[in-house]
Structure 1
Amino acid sequence: MLARSAPPHPEQEETTVKAARLSRATARLAVAAAVPLLLAGLTSCSSDDAGDPADAAGSSTPEGTAAPTSSSAPVAAGPFGPGCGLFPVEGPGSLAAIATTPAGAAISGVPELGTLTQAVIAANLVDVLNTRPEVTVLAPSNAAFDALGPDALPALLADAPRLTAVLTHHVLNGRLTPEQLVGEHTTLNGDSVTVSGPADAPTVTAEQTVPGTAAGAVLCGDVPTANATVYVVDQVLTPAG
């Protein structure tokens, strides 16, 4: 006959039950502790997979394809244009001298702007150009006035209201860079003038000039004075009306 095993002692049975409960509790704690670590790992993996948005954007450009560039480069700061030689190299009227001189006085020191100076004096606008802060002056050259014909200039100088309107039409609000010059602007005369691009060779349409036969071009632009930026033009502009 097989011997029957003795029934477990009550104290031993209680110890076994406690051990089983402790084991299950330990397992639950281990799982609870592992969950945050697992979530952190998943988050990290997700973040790594997403990558930097800039990298993702860059990856959309096919290999060997150059990044797009601007269609036109900005004009370098400082005087530019085919006619900048009209300013004296040194002394009064030179670019260096007029940079710290008010606009009215600066223009009067440039021989190739002598007719404009005569007109400004006749219209009593010297002080206006000298004291008006932050403006842009479209300054007609001597050749621009000569293009009006031999009789036009004396008649214009004798008509003070007309002369004042013409001259103030050449003064724009603000110091304008070549890029900013392209567009429509309000003049000191209260009307507007529209300058066409490109920025490195601005022009004004023929119908906006006094002769009305040829477009006006910038001979030398972005010339700084103490209170203004000057663009020498080869046509006299006509005010509205």
Structure 2
Amino acid sequence: MNPTHTRRRVAAALAAAALSVSMGVALAPQASADEGGTPFGPGCASVPKEGPGSVEGMADDPVATAASNNPALSTLVAAVKKAGLVDTLNNAKDITVFAPTNDAFAKIPKSDLDKVLADKDMLTKILTYHVVDQPVTKADLADGSFKTLEGGTLTTSGSGDSYKVNDTATIVCGEVHTSNATVHVIDTVLMPK
């Protein structure tokens, strides 16, 4: 796989994951039983009980599409669209997206966020940093280290239903499944080094 294709695949996966997280864990765990467990975390309670944005509804759609069905992930979805990563994320297979919620994006000063949104290369770099080219289940989160599509590394730690990513972001709704991804919704946007 050439580096450009890999970057695009990662960026797409990140965007999709971010969308899912921003939507407050709108991705579904209904894929097959071998794809992992059920969603966990306090943010899962805000997921709609039925319809396209519900866990069941999202399980049938690829990650970017699934995220677009949940208003809590609208900032992530907009960023993924702006970076041109929708098709990349939707066409990727067996990826994991650490998806920031709208509240996560709101932590970034508006002037800084506007600069990133205006710089497609930087936006793509940040979004693809949120995507891992392999399934990451709850069992993998206790003490994990994962290479991202951007080329950097994410670390995870925790136990029970409480997990951190890079010691800065908390997983608010983890292990949400779409047709092509595992999504862990997070409360902070991750920044590559």
Name the counterpart of 2:187.
Answer: 234
Aligned-partner Cα distance in 2 for 1:105–1:153 = 23
Question: Which digits, 9 at most, give the CA deviation of each residue in 1:110-153, with x for residues without a partner?
Answer: 11000000000000000111010000000000000000022222
Checking the alignment, whether the CA contact within 8 Å between 1:179 and 1:199 is kept in structure 2 is no
Q: 1:118 to 1:93 in 2, by over 3 A?
A: same
Instruction: Return the match for 2:176 from 195, 208, 223.
Output: 223
What letter matches 1:121 in structure 2? Answer: K
* CA-CA distance at 1:199 after TM superposition: 5.1
Percent of aligned pairs sharing the same letter: 44
Moved over 3 A (4+): none
For 2:127, the equivalent position in structure 1 comes to 167
The reply to whether residue 194 of structure 1 matches residue 155 of structure 2 is yes
* In 2, Cα distance between equivalents of 1:141 and 1:176: 19
- The structure 2 residue matched to 1:204, chosen from 165, 168, 171, is 165
- RMSD over equivalenced CA pairs, Å: 1.4
The answer on 1:120 being equivalent to 2:103 is: no
TM-score normalized by the length of structure 1: 0.63
SS in 2 for 1:107: helix
| Pairs aligned (count) | 157
What amino acid maps onto 2:39 in structure 1? P
**Larger radius of gyration between Structure 1 and Structure 2:** 1
State the match for 2:110 in structure 1: 150
SS at match of 1:232: strand
Deviations 1:95-115 (A, max 9, x none): 110011000101111110000
- Contact 1:86/1:112, CA 8 A, preserved across alignment: no
Q: Tell whether the 8 Å contact from 1:101 to 1:225 is kept in structure 2 after alignment.
A: yes
Partner of 2:67: 107
- Bigger relative contact order (CA 8 A; separation at least 6): 2
Q: Which AA in structure 2 matches 1:186?
A: K
1:93, distance to aligned residue in structure 2 (A): 1.1
Paired with 1:178 and 1:218, the residues of 2 have a C-alpha distance of 10
CA contact (8 A) 1:87 1:112 kept: no
Q: What SS does structure 1 have at the residue aligned with 2:38?
A: coil
Choose from 139, 159, 169 the match for 1:179.
139
Determine if contact 2:154/2:166 at 8 Å carries over to the other structure.
Answer: no
Q: How does 1:76-91 map to 2 (within 5 A)?
A: 77-91=37-51
